[in-house]
Structure 1
């Protein structure tokens, strides 16, 4: 750890910063090695004359994360670095069905993934700017980290917290590195145009946060979002509520399309109650308009987006109801063990199919000792297409471990 800190200090000096100015840059720096072992398999049943398809992949990822502090002075500067490599350990079946490594054909997928990025950052008062590789988490754009390596975006982002309880966010993104690929791709080439967002999160009072965001995939769609998040102690337990509303419309001429691909309104409500280790949840989502829900780069913020598919339950005029139950075994003496089940039902909207998805998750994280934080999750999802589309079974087994290096 001392050698690492010295190396960082030397690098800072090489950039021309004085030892005094670089003090907080080094002191507040954090470096970690994140390990992820991942098995993914999916089985799509035979449907309407098409043969069933089954395939899977198993891999190991190494992710090095460095986050510096800020130099002292009126304008503090810093840098964040990310470097990762993932290696395929085994595969089987149709590789177009497996989703950890880039797929070239039914018989071939990438043997490894390499991904990295640097982010320059500067802070003035309570305003912080970022330039480079970004992982935004906002209602209109969420960096997806559900595979071997995280999805990265390239661009600029600004946050401001000058007003108590209020966080303002603005960003402009030009490129994306997908979760199963290692190259950078211009948004314009694959997903429309460049993406811009502007938003505000305001803490109205303890337990209540109001949100408004605007997102624009240039020449493709523009989207308004409003939301409320609420949590409070109720009786012996805790109540949580999450309300979301999206209004999406076509932007520009939509690349000259005769019919819009983005013209809809979506609202949802998700309520949960936790007591004595039990968590009960119920949710509802409704979409109206002339199209299904649009999104950028497999990255959205819908309560219906769970294990299987991408937008399977966000079709034109679709209504979705979900129920969930989870239990924390720590309340009965088994710390670190948890389990949950979720079942959601969609009416398919204009597609007229009563499809369902059921997801079961069991997880365990070592709570103490030398390997504290080592966690494993077994996930199994089952999608029933109501005889109008193929049924899908999906299994994931994931082991994560983060090693702090400084």
Structure 2
């Protein structure tokens, strides 16, 4: 029962037809290749799943935003949102795995030198290399300028020391974009981004299990005297803040909004099916007005979130700087989904807490969409700044140029 968001007036008809076909293809793929993996993946509990990576690698979706010259699909952000929503409908964890490395590719694609792009982007587009981005630190959260991980120049290399937490696909990744301090604390140009390859001496992945999205891991990356060639600087020395913020705002917020949409959509379908088949006196639960109102409210929340996400994706594809819409998409997707989770809890009653039930899993998965790329309060701060100041440059402006 997916909503037909592709008929929205901001989508040109010829493009909409391409997106309809893409959605059908994505649905067929997830039904055949991802759906059989979901029960075993969930049953294993917190872990890093490699079977989903192998399945997704064949689709080319990791390169959905990369240009054809590097072997990518160059389909744009609306198409990416379609893919992630469809994937999350079947498996929020699988969608989280894909989006985390689409995010990880952004620094190389947007800031990397031609040599760096030539070396890595074809491998990413082919699904052979899965990148990550490592920015968040213990006790620092969204305060990027407070980063304490250091990078010290030593001849033709840098020596990195520090620890990153909540790194999506950390144990799955082949190359990590690590943002570290190279200048005076608090200065906008005090940070630099580096590519650190898997297996580099001193790089350790420390498991840090979370309570949802089984198969998707957000582990700790520990760097102990990690030596990185100077050629592995992403962009220029001092570009680290731009790399981190650009990836988070332009890619991360919309990616997570898309994962939220698919999760929300599945929760609504499961709940609607339950109330229409659950006996109640001489009819079903769905005969009760209070139940119908809750289902209608869930549908209202989903439609609102879809409009927000697809409008933001459309603006990006049109080359329009749109940071507030990206903040809005993430905020709306989470708030709408959280509200529907509460409705589902009421309609499922005590069964909503039963371990292993679909509604329990999807409610738990949805919780983990809140914090990455900034919790709701951070989105509200940014939206307030857009109206009241201090006015910030749009990170999406760099992307659109």
Which has more strand, going by share of residues? 1
Which has the higher Rg, Structure 1 or Structure 2? 1
What TM-score bracket applies, with the shorter chain setting the length?
Answer: under 0.3
* TM-score using structure 2 length: 0.26
Greater helix content: 2
